[in-house]
Amino acid sequence: MNKGRLEAFSDGVLAIIITIMILEMKAPTGTTLSSLSKEWPLFIGYVLSYAFVGIYWINHHRILVKANCINGRVLWANLFWMFCISFIPFTTAWAAETDFAKIPSVIYSFNVWMSTISYHLLAYSVLSSNHENCTFHGVMFMNRRNMFTFVLYTFAIVIAYITPLFAYAIHFINAIIWILPNMQEVDAQE
Amino acid sequence: MNKGRLEAFSDGVLAIIITIMILEMKAPTGTTLSSLSKEWPLFIGYVLSYAFVGIYWINHHRILVKANCINGRVLWANLFWMFCISFIPFTTAWAAETDFAKIPSVIYSFNVWMSTISYHLLAYSVLSSNHENCTFHGVMFMNRRNMFTFVLYTFAIVIAYITPLFAYAIHFINAIIWILPNMQEVDAQE
Amino acid sequence: MNKGRLEAFSDGVLAIIITIMILEMKAPTGTTLSSLSKEWPLFIGYVLSYAFVGIYWINHHRILVKANCINGRVLWANLFWMFCISFIPFTTAWAAETDFAKIPSVIYSFNVWMSTISYHLLAYSVLSSNHENCTFHGVMFMNRRNMFTFVLYTFAIVIAYITPLFAYAIHFINAIIWILPNMQEVDAQE
Amino acid sequence: MNKGRLEAFSDGVLAIIITIMILEMKAPTGTTLSSLSKEWPLFIGYVLSYAFVGIYWINHHRILVKANCINGRVLWANLFWMFCISFIPFTTAWAAETDFAKIPSVIYSFNVWMSTISYHLLAYSVLSSNHENCTFHGVMFMNRRNMFTFVLYTFAIVIAYITPLFAYAIHFINAIIWILPNMQEVDAQE
């Protein structure tokens, strides 16, 4: 089974998901800044979900770059993960268009949570098909940052039902936790 | 003729097809769970068609990975197959938006059936251009599972006219028949 | 300059163009066959334009597979060609939604004609950057089939203003002229 | 970190961005040339933004072709650059649908300006991760043409608030400045 085609297909799907979110933002009818500013919830939602999909694209790359064996289990775990991610534009639009109401925010947080679960299923299926790389396990799968993220996302579902904006703050913090170390990585190498 | 570009183009088209189905789901206008639950037919339709396209993406990969010669006949068989698949978002949306009415369900089942026919035309054209691989024939083309699937899909067109939900049950069973062995495959290798 | 990335980008754009045409077909509101049959102009238009883009994708492949040198002139000729092709979904939709009225059919034929002109500009720019392949010239550029196609497309613009359906017959004949030899090609090799 | 996948993902996103702009042009309701001519602002906007994205696709290629080390900083600089570019269809549509009104033209020019800033951040991050290529610096980053473009784009934001059409003239001139040398490049090599 050819790893290149799995990557190409995943990249295609993620490229579409990350780009169609902007299609939800329709051009304002007015010509003033205030008519544009009515779109701020969609803008915030887009920023957050763009960062989310970007983080997963990078992590997906890091899992696959170390995998040698791609079997049917990995393919379907990958398809299930993309299935979960593909709802992000839908749940982002619902949450943003209702000005981050409670139920839509719970569903958005649940969608993010499901994407994380399915990502770990994918990581696990890659792991169980590539036994020999023992070090691979510690780096990729259940490290502390992954666990912390998982707990935060679970917490966000509950908090979204009480104070939706707190849930988005959690998603924002989570994004920072994943993006910042990527930035500093290069310094460690220099 | 370069196989890589055929795969890349097919992956691009399939990635778009599998992703634009979710675009049919518009964000609900309400903020309650019941306003979301009105979208369940689209959700069911999306799950089924996503699995269907996913199965064909994997099978497409398995045909092409063994092909050495890509000629004009293969290119057009591939274009015809993608043409049939490209109607899946349209027929899924029609069936789901009419709450799985009879005629839309017949058309959906017919679309699935045509995709299978065109897939076998593609498999046959790859075969007839790669004579030397005799074992290829038995594995890829007219094996028992393919025949059973074909009979089931033909049956689904008829049954959709009588009891649409039975047709979807058949599509669901068919998806399981194709996905489950993918899952167990890895165990056989270990 | 890397040929692979030019091909990948072109494939991505063509995959989107060939797929978004189907998005123009909205699911009918009724549940009968007659509500579906109202979409026949869009279906015909989609078939014709799908074949058209498919033919160009194959021809594009054949030009590039022989090119060694990709310079800025080739890149912009390629971008201009994709620009012309990218209007096909728009002109197809206009022609189909007006039941193939005169002016929309003229514009559609003009769009097809411009795509052919820009394709020859691309072929010429590839040629002039790869002088050494003299045989390349005869095969790829101004052979009899290309000339005949060009005359037919020019004629179609005029005829579309008088009897639109004749113009579509011409487009259909042109598609056959390009697809049939692809089919028979394999027989010649065997 | 694999450069190929970064290129493939970027190509996918840019292919979608450059193509979905045409989706903003809805088929006219009438069947006359005058009903088509009402779409001229969208056509002008599309031409300009298509050229803009095309220029950046070529430049993006030229940066990456010389990069050996792709680290987290480069990945996020690339994601941020694509984020800025992904607003081009939205701001183009707003500017065109309001017949190039003042505020939408300012926002469009600002979007173009941000895309340039983020592109230089990307170029800088590639540079700082590939120290050894000293000549790379002069060619790719802060040369005279880049500086001139940057000043022009900054000027366009201000002028758009006074006379929007002047801003588009500036964008048009800028496109020429970048496209023409690409055309002549081949002559220099011959």
**Distance of alpha carbon A41 from alpha carbon A96, whole angstroms:** 5
Which residues in chain D have Cβ-Cβ distances shorter than 8 Å to A20?
16
Please check whether residue C90 is in contact with residue D36, taking contact to mean a CB–CB distance below 8 angstroms. Answer: no
- Total residue length of chain D: 190
Q: Determine contact: B73 vs chain C, CB below 8 A.
A: yes
Q: Which residue stretches of chain C are H helix?
A: 3-23, 33-37, 40-65, 72-85, 88-97, 102-128, 134-140, 144-162, 164-189
User: Is the pLDDT higher at A98 or at A65?
Assistant: A98
C31/B102 Cβ within 8 A? yes
Q: Torsions phi, psi of D34, nearest 5?
A: -70, -30
Residue B93 with chain C: CB contacts under 8 Å = 27
Q: Cβ A72–B31 below 8 Å, yes or no? A: no
Chain D residues whose beta carbon lies within 8 Å of the beta carbon of residue C107 = 36
Q: Is the dihedral of CA C9, B5, C74, C72 positive or negative?
A: positive
Task: Indicate whether D189 pLDDT > 50.
Answer: no
Name the closest residue on chain B to residue C185, using Cα atoms: B72
**Residue B190 CB neighbours (<10 A):** 8
Smallest Cα–Cα separation from A164: which of A82, A109, A84, A87?
A109
Which residues of D fall within a CB distance of 8 Å from A55?
Answer: none
Chain A: list its partners (3+ Cβ pairs within 8 Å).
B, D
Nearest-Cα residue of chain C relative to residue D14: C9
What pLDDT, in 10s, does the model give residues B101-130?
Answer: 999 999 999 999 999 999 988 988 888 777
> B: neighbours with 3+ CB pairs under 8 Å?
A, C
Which of A128-132, A133-137, B48-52, C121-125 is predicted with the least confidence, judged by mean pLDDT?
A: A133-137
Q: How many CB atoms lie within 10 A of CB B40?
A: 11
Which residues from chain A sit within 8 angstroms of residue B184, using beta carbons?
A: 72
Looking at chain D, which residue has its C-alpha nearest residue C82? Answer: D19
> Does the CB of B31 have a partner CB in chain A at under 8 Å?
yes
Contact C12 D11 (CB under 8 A): yes
Going by pLDDT thresholds of 50, 70 and 90, the confidence category of residue D142 is low
Q: Which of B126, B115, B1, B18 is nearest to B65 (CA)?
A: B126
Taking the Cβ of residue C22 and every Cβ of chain D, the question of whether any pair is shorter than 8 Å is answered with no
Task: For residue B185, name the pLDDT band (cuts at 50, 70, 90).
Answer: low
- Average pLDDT of chain D, as a whole number: 85
The answer to which of B174-188, C140-154, D133-147 has the lowest mean pLDDT is D133-147
Kindly give the interhelix angle for C102-128 and C144-162, rounded to the nearest 10 degrees: 160
Nearest CA in chain A to B190: A129
Q: What is the pLDDT of residues D2-36, one digit of tens each?
A: 788 888 899 999 999 998 888 778 888 888 888 88
Tell me the pLDDT tens digit for each residue of B56-97: 998 888 888 777 778 888 899 999 999 999 999 999 999 999
CA distance A43 to A164: 17
Q: D66, D133 in Cβ contact below 8 A? A: yes
- For residue A105, the chain B residue with the least C-alpha distance is B31
Contacts of D57 in chain C (CB under 8 A): 9
Decide if pLDDT at C83 tops 50: yes
Task: Yes or no: say if A70 and B186 are a contact pair by the CB < 8 Å rule.
Answer: no
User: pLDDT value at position B189?
Assistant: 41
pLDDT at D134 over 80: no
Query: Is residue C136 a contact partner of residue C127, using CB atoms and an 8 Å limit?
Result: yes
Show residues of chain B in contact with C11, CB under 8 Å: 5, 8-9, 12
Running DSSP on this structure, what letter comes out for residue A27?
A: P
* CA nearest neighbour of A57 among C125, D8, D26: D8
Region of A174 (left: φ > 0; alpha: ψ -120 to 50; beta: rest) is alpha
User: By the CB < 8 Å criterion, does D101 face chain A?
Assistant: yes
| pLDDT of B188 above 70 | no
Q: How far is D5 from chain C (nearest CA, A)?
A: 11
Residue of B nearest to C18 (CA): B13
Separation between Cα atoms, residue D52 and residue D74, nearest integer Å:
22
pLDDT of B1 strictly over 80: no
Interface check for B11 against chain A (CB to CB < 8 A): the answer is yes
Q: ipTM value of the model?
A: 0.88
HSE of D34, CA atoms in CB hemisphere, 13 A? 0
SS3 category, D67: coil
**Cα–Cα distance between D171 and D169 in angstroms, integer?**
5
* Residue type for position C41: P
pLDDT at A133 over 60: no
- Side chain identity, residue A176: I
CA atoms of A60 and A149, how far apart (whole Å) = 16
Q: Which of residues 130-149 of B touch C (CB under 8 A)?
A: none
The one-letter amino acid code at D77 reads: A
Q: Is the pLDDT of residue D178 over 80?
A: yes
Neighbour tally for D22: CB within 10 Å: 21
pLDDT over 60 at A45, yes or no = yes
Write down the pLDDT at residue C134. Answer: 44
Rounded Cα distance between A156 and D127, Å, is: 39
Sign of CA dihedral C153, C159, C164, C166: negative
Using pLDDT thresholds of 50, 70 and 90, give the confidence band for residue C186. very low
Tell me: pLDDT of C132 over 70: no
**Min Cα–Cα distance to chain D from A51, Å:** 8
Q: Tell me which chain B residues have a C-beta less than 8 angstroms from the C-beta of A13.
A: 15, 18-19
Indicate yes or no: CB of D185 within 8 angstroms of CB of C71: yes
User: In this model, does residue B137 exceed pLDDT 60?
Assistant: no
C190 pLDDT band, cuts 50/70/90, is very low
Q: Do A27 and D107 touch (CB under 8 A)?
A: no
Partner residue facing C90 (CB), from D8, D27, D186: D27
| D-contacting chains (≥3 CB pairs under 8 Å) | A, C
Which chain D residues have a beta carbon less than 8 Å from that of C82?
18
DSSP calls for chain B:
--HHHHHHHHHHHHHHHHHHHHHTSPPPSSSSHHHHHTTHHHHHHHHHHHHHHHHHHHHHHHHHHT-----HHHHHHHHHHHHHHTTHHHHHHHHHHTTS-HHHHHHHHHHHHHHHHHHHHHHHHHHHT-TT-HHHHHHHSS-HHHHHHHHHHHHHHHHHHH-HHHHHHHHHHHHHHHHHHHHHHHHHH-
